[in-house]
Structures are given as C-alpha cells and as structure tokens.
Amino acid sequence: MSGRPSNRQHLVRMAGLFAVGISAFFVLRWLMVPDGFGLYGHYRAGALDEARARPVLYAGQAACADCHGDVVAARAGSRHARIGCEACHGPLYAHVQAGGEKKPARPDSRALCARCHETSPWKPKAYPQVVVAEHSPAGPCLACHKPHAPKMS
C-alpha cells in the first residue's frame, strides 16, 4: 500500500464524495424549499389554500333569497329585479351567519339613488337618469319610489 492507491481505493473515495455531495444536496433542498413547492408548478401549492382561506363578507344573492322571499317576490318583474341585494345593502355574510341578527343599516336613499341615477354623459344613453337637484330638490327618494320596484304606478 505504498505509492499510488489501488483501484478499489479510488472507487471508495469517489463513492464517498458522491455520497457527501448528494446528501448535502438533499439537506439543503429540504432546508430551503418549502412544502408543496413544485407540486403544480413553480410555486408553493399551499398558497392556493391560503388564498382560499380569506373570510367571505358578501354572502351572495342565493343566501339573501333563502330568507327574504317576500322581497324577491316584490322585485320580480321590476327594473331592479336583477340587482344583488348587497349592491345597496352592503356586505351581509355576518348577518347570514348570525341567523338574521346584525341587521344592516337602512341605506341613505338620496345618496344611494343618485350614485346610479344622476345624469352623466358617461352613462349609457338608454340608462334611466335624472338631474337629482331638479327632479327632487329635497326629501328622500323613498317618498315616491319603492326601491325594490321603483316604477311609480
């Protein structure tokens, strides 16, 4: 065993080097790459669940219709029939979860109606618009119009 090493020794040394290199690779990879990375693509798969975990605030029309069938019926056929309840009444998931408690505040009709119906050249021509200051200088819109079926008979 003097001078140059035997063939066997060459192999053992090299196998050792490989083993060290490969284990270092796996240890580093385990330390640095988060769980689920690369499962669907070049990103952490868990991020999808995190995006889903955000709480819902707007309950959706179906949840409103579950309890408020009378309002759905009142709106049927009117110009406002297809507007989501939460478009005017605000986010109501908490109200649904509380079984009808946590009632929303009644919307301020004058500000709310004007937001959609104040005249503006940017709005589509066929869309019903009024100059609120001329149409009704004072008083709530609700004095004449029913918001769930706004056309006056």
Q: How far is the CB of 83 from other proteins (least distance, A)?
A: 5
- Which region, judged by CB under 8 A, interacts with other proteins, from 58-66, 68-76, 101-109, 137-145? 58-66
- Which region, judged by CB under 8 A, interacts with other proteins, from 70-78, 95-103, 120-128, 141-149? 120-128
Q: How many other C-beta atoms can be found within 10 angstroms of the C-beta atom of residue 36?
A: 14
d(CA 23, CA 17): 10
Of 137, 131, 133, 111, the residue nearest 119 (C-alpha) = 131
d(CA 91, CA 100): 13
Q: Work out which of 72, 96, 107, 118 binds other proteins, going by CB under 8 A.
A: 118
Window 6-45: contact mask with other proteins (x via CB under 8 A): -x------x---x---x--xx-------xxxxxxxxxxxx
Q: Work out which of 71, 72, 83, 142 binds other proteins, going by CB under 8 A.
A: 83
Q: For binding to other proteins (CB under 8 A), which residues are involved?
A: 7, 14, 18, 22, 25-26, 34-58, 60-61, 82-84, 86-87, 90-91, 115-116, 118-124, 127, 131
